[in-house]
Amino acid sequence: MNTNKNIIQRIQSGKPLLIDGALGSLLIDRGLPAGQAPEAWVLERPEVLQEVHRQYRDAGADVITTCTFGGNRFRLQKASLDDRLVEINQRAVEIAREAVADDRAFIAGDMGPTGEFFQPVGSLTDETAREAFEEQAAALADAGIDIFLHETHYDLKEAVIALEACREVAPDVPAAVTLTFNNTPKGFFTVMGNPALESLLNIREKGALLVGSNCTLEAEGMLELASYLSENIETPLLFQANAGSPEITPDGVIYPQTPEEFAGFANDMLKLGIRAVGGCCGTTADHIRELRRTIDSFISGD
């Protein structure tokens, strides 16, 4: 079995790490009803989750991400699943492990934001946020994940609380933290106004093994962000871009970027020394497969 130490060594070795791609959109393609929490399928349709995880592993992903992005108490309450929080998080890890039975991949315990706003805008407090993240982190750690993956955070304060919660309940499990940024005339900022460089430096100081960005930006915009950050921060960086900007069609939302185009930008990221890449909204196993080819070619010098 992979160990936490192994993934730390892998990241520190400098060999690029390939994270998997989107999950929610692929589940919708397989029949997940609009508005239903993907975590419900951890209990109801585990075979579908296994299929998606296996496709990503077969495409060459080094890291498989659990179906637990919304696995905190705040989000599960909205789906009337909060009484099964521990079961959902631990079963999701089991499903991911079963999908890569040969153990060629690391398992990342996915943790998204609560979806709430802090007081006085909303009702969230530091204490309730910390309790929610500690609860989910404990369940994931007990199930044997290799790394925490905090992603799509739009509020630096909440991201820091989430990271500190994991460090408190599972200090031996490393963590990656990615925020989501908008590209504005004044630079890259979260919707809460947190600047990219200062935010990620803060998170690094709190003990994250990997820091970076996911979602919101398409590959070209993410490359611009990666170029800026790589010049100003020494911590290993992780980027997971969307497959282009979403387009509304009669058949629903589509992401137009082909796997080849997507991987082309990733190749430029690798030249910057980026340690980890993967996909976010709109990416599929085909995008990850093309990233695998790109990484292998980069390593071999072809």
Averaged pLDDT for residues 2-10: 78
pLDDT the model gives residue 3: 60
pTM > 0.85: yes or no: yes
- Decide which of 111 and 246 is more confident: 111
Q: Does 161 score more than 50 pLDDT?
A: yes
| Other residues' Cβ atoms within 10 Å of the Cβ of residue 30 | 13
Please write the tens of the pLDDT for every residue from 109-143: 999 999 999 999 999 999 999 999 999 999 999 99
Residue 301 lies in a domain: no
Crossing angle of helices 219-230 and 196-205, in 10° steps, is 60
Which residues, at least 6 apart from 256, have a Cβ–Cβ distance to it below 8 Å? 243, 244, 245, 247
- How many domains does the chain divide into? 1
- CATH number at 275 reads 3.20.20.330
Question: Nearest-CA neighbor of 163 among 227, 85, 155?
Answer: 155
Question: Nearest-CA neighbor of 255 among 297, 296, 223, 287?
Answer: 287
Q: Does 286 score more than 70 pLDDT?
A: yes
pLDDT the model gives residue 14: 86
Averaged pLDDT for residues 248-276: 92
Q: Can you give the residue range of the structural domain that contains 134?
A: 4-296
Residue 58 lies in a domain: yes
Residue 181 lies in a domain: yes
Residue 302 lies in a domain: no
Please write the tens of the pLDDT for every residue from 185-231: 999 999 999 999 999 999 999 999 999 999 999 999 999 999 999 99
Q: Does 268 score more than 90 pLDDT?
A: yes
